[in-house]
Structure 1
Amino acid sequence: MMRFVLSCLPLLPLLIISILESLLKLFIPKKRKSVTGEIVLITGAGHGIGRLTAYEFAKLKSKLVLWDINKHGIEETATECRRLGAKAHTFVVDCSNREDIYNSAKKVKAEIGDVSILINNAGVVYESDFFATQDPQIEKTFEVNTLAHFWTTKAFLPAMIKYNHGHIVTVASAAGHLGIPFLVAYCSSKFAVVGFHESLTEELASLKRTGVKTSCLCPYFINTGFIKNLSSSLGPYLKPEEVVDKLMNGILTEQKMIFVPSPLSKLLVVKTIFPERFLTVLKRKLNIKFDQNIGNKIGGQ
C-alpha cells in the first residue's frame, strides 16, 4: 500500500492542473455536441423522464425510437415528438424480459438502423421494508433496473464500437450511492447500475473506443408518482423538467456523472472521509420519509 502511495506522488502536479481545469470549466461552459439525425433509443419513454427526454431530442431533430411496456403512453410521446418535427418509432417492449429486448433490438436495427444514443431509463420501485418486499418484486426490480441495461447495451454497443461513435446513458439515482431504508431492492439495483456505468466506461477506455461516450444520471427523488408523500431535510421532490434539463446538458457536453442537484456529488466525498459515527448521525438528520409498506413476515414470499 505504501509503495503505491509513494508511486502516486509524482501525480500531484497533474492533480493540481486537473483541479484548475475543473474550476475553469465552471466559467467557460463546454460546447454542446450536435445530435441532429442521430438515432436515439429511450426505454421507459411512455411517461416521466423518458417522455420529457424524448421531447428534448425531438427538438434537436434526432430520430426517436421509443420503448415502453405501455402502448398508449409511447404513442402519446411519439405524437408530440412528431409535432415537434422529429421522426418517432414506437415499440411495445417489456424491459424485464431479455428475449423481448433482443427481439425488439433486431427489429430496430433492421427497420430503422444502428442506434447511436441509448438511454436506459426504464425503472420500477417498490416502497417496502425488506421482508414485505415480495420475491417477484425483488426479481422485477433487478430485471428492469439493472439487467435490462446489459441486454440493451449488448444489443446496440457493437455498432457503436465498430464506428467508434455513440453514447450510452445510464439512468441511475442518488440512491445508487446512498442506502435508504425501505428501498433495499431499489437502492441495490441502482448501486449495481452505477457500477455498470463505471466499469463499462473503463472498458471502453481500455479498448481505445474514445468516440463512444458514457453518462450516468443520479438524481434525488423526482416527482413522477413513484415515491409518494416524500418529506426530507434535503427538500421536496425535484421537478422532472429540472432533471431532464440537467440530463440533456450532461449528454450534450459528455459528462460522465450527472448529479441532480449537483451538490449531491459531495455525498461521495463525505462517505469516503468522515467517520462512521458521524455518518450515522448525519443520515438521521436527512430524515427521509415516504409512504411504505411495513410488514413483519420473515422469509420468502
Structure 2
Amino acid sequence: MNPFLDLLLFLATLIYSYLEAFVKLFVPVKRKSVSGELVLITGAGHGVGRATAFEFAKRQSRLVLWDINKHGVEDTAAECERLGATVQAFVVDCSKREEIYSAAEKVKKDIGDVSILVNNAGVITAADLLSTQDHQIERMFDVNILAHMWTTRAFLPTMMKNNHGHIVTVASAAGHFVTSFMVAYCSSKFAAVGFHKALTEELSTLGKDGIKTTCLCPVFINTGFVKNPSTRLGKILEIEEVVDALMEGILTNQKMIFVPSHLNIALLSELGTQRDMTLKRRNPGRDCFQNVP
C-alpha cells in the first residue's frame, strides 16, 4: 500500500474514533439485558473473572463459575449469591481438555444451556524464551488458547441451534503488541486474538448473527500474578477499570475492546509502520540501483 494512503487511512480512523466518542457523549448506546442468561466464566476465582462474575450477578444473570482453585471459586460464588444470583461453582483445570468436556456435560445436563461464555482463565510466565520451561510453555497454550476452543466447542452447538449467545475472549494487548521476556505468553495471546477474529468471521459466514463475540485486550493488570509489572504501553491497570470496559463491551456487543482505548490508535500506527518497512524492503529507492547496468 502507498505510504500516503496509509497515512490517510490512519488519519481517517483517528478522526472517526474521536467523532464516535463525541457522539456517544450525547447519544446513549443501547445496552442489552443479560437478566436470566446462563453465564459461564472460567477463571472466576480471582481477578478479572471474579469481578466479572459480580457484575453479571448484579444484573440478575444465572452463573456457572469455573476455577482450578476451590477456595477462590467458592468465595466468588458466595459473594454472587449475596448479590442475589443463582450460582453453581465447579473446580475445573482448564489446562485439561477432558476436565473441560466433563464439566461442560454436567452443566448442560444439570443446569441448562450456557448462552454467555466468558473465556477468562489465563496463566503467565515471565522469563526469556530459553529460561522458560517446556511445561510452562505448554501450560500457557493449554489455558490461554486451547481451553477457549474446548469450551467453545462444548457450548457453541446450542447457541447455533438457537442463534443466540455471546462468546467472550479475554486476551491481552500482548496479543497485538510484543514485549521481551514473554515470548510464549505473547504467542498464546496472539493465538487468542486470532481465534476471536476467525470465530467471528465464521459465525458471520454461517449467518449466525444472533451469536455475538467480544475480545478484551488490556495492558497488564494488577492481579498479583506478576510482581512489579511494567509496560511501555501505559500504566498498569486496576481490575475494576478493566471489568467496567469489558461489561460495557458485552452489553453493547463490541467486537474488540482495548484498555486503555487509545491502544487501537497505537495498533494502527504500528501496522502502518510495519507496512512502510515492508514496502521499503520490496521497493528500495531508485538510487540503490542507479549504478546497476
Q: After superposition, give the CA deviation of every residue in 1:44-96 in whole Å (9 maximum; x if it has no partner).
A: 00010000000000000000000000010000000000000000100110100
In the alignment, what sits opposite 2:246?
Answer: 247
Cα distance, 1:24–1:92 mapped onto 2, change above 3 Å: same
Q: Distance in 1 between matches of 2:178 and 2:111?
A: 40
- Paired AA for residue 227 in structure 1: V
CA distance in 1, matches of 2:272, 2:57: 43
**Partners of 2:22 and 2:200 in 1: how far apart?**
24
Report the alpha carbon displacement of residue 19 of structure 1 after superposing the two structures with TM.
4.5
| Superposition pairs of residues 230-241 of structure 1, within 5 angstroms | 230-232=229-231, 234-241=233-240
Whether 2:96 is the aligned partner of 1:97: answer yes
- Following superposition, the deviation at residue 25 of structure 1 comes to 4.5
Code of the residue aligned with 2:177 in structure 1: it is L
Provide Cα deviations, 1:14-47, integer angstroms capped at 9, x if missing partner. x99x949846653323211000000000000001
User: Could you state the TM-score of these two structures normalised by the residue count of structure 2?
Assistant: 0.86
**Aligned 1:105-116 pairs, distance under 5 A:** 105-116=104-115
1:69/1:94 contact within 8 Å kept: yes
SS across alignment from 2:197? helix
Spell out, residue by residue over 1:238-259, the C-alpha distance to the aligned partner (whole angstroms, 9 max, x if none): 0100000000000000000000
CA distance in 2, matches of 1:199, 1:275: 22
Contact 2:219-2:233 at 8 Å conserved across structures: no
| Partner residue in 1 for 2:258 | 259
Residues 230 and 236 of structure 1 are in contact (CA less than 8 Å); yes or no, is this contact kept in structure 2? Answer: no
Deviation at 1:189, TM superposition (A): 0.3
Alignment map for 1:1-301 (pairs within 5 Å):
19=16, 22=20, 25-27=23-25, 28-232=27-231, 234-274=233-273
| Alignment root-mean-square deviation, CA | 2.3
Aligned residues of 1:98 and 1:148 also touching (Cα < 8 A): yes
Normalising by structure 1, we get a TM-score of 0.84
226-235 or 206-215: bigger deviation: 226-235
Cα distance in 1, alignment partners of residues 258 and 243 from structure 2: 12
Residue 229 of structure 1: CA displacement?
1.0
Q: Tell me the distance in 2 between the aligned counterparts of 1:154 and 1:234.
A: 34
Other-structure match for 2:287: none
1:150 and 1:158 map into 2 onto residues whose CA distance is 13
Q: Which amino acid aligns with 1:26?
A: K
Query: Structure 1, unaligned stretches of length 5 or more?
Result: 3-11, 279-301
Whole-angstrom distance in 2 between the partners of 1:243 and 1:231 = 17
Q: What one-letter code is carried by the residue in structure 2 that aligns with 1:122?
A: A
Give yes or no for contact 1:222–1:240 (8 Å, CA) kept in 2.
yes
Q: CA deviation at 1:263?
A: 0.3
Question: Structure 2: how far apart are the matches of 1:171 and 1:24?
Answer: 27
Task: Tell me the alpha carbon deviations over residues 113-134 of structure 1, each in whole angstroms, 9 at most, x when there is no partner.
Answer: 0000000000000011000000
Supply the distance in 2 between the matched residues of 1:236 and 1:255 (Cα, whole angstroms). 23
Gaps of 5+ in 2: 3-8, 278-293
**Corresponding residue SS for 1:29:** coil
Is the 1:68–1:92 contact (alpha carbons within 8 Å) kept by the matching residues of 2?
Answer: yes
Overall identity of the aligned pairs, in %: 64
Pick closer, same or farther for the CA change 1:232–1:151 going to 2, 3 Å: closer
2: CA distance between counterparts of 1:29 and 1:94?
40
Shift in alpha-carbon separation, 1:189–1:233, aligned structure 2, 3 A: closer
Counterpart amino acid of 1:216?
C
In structure 2, what is the Cα distance between the partners aligned to 1:67 and 1:233?
32
Residue 299 of structure 1: aligned partner: none
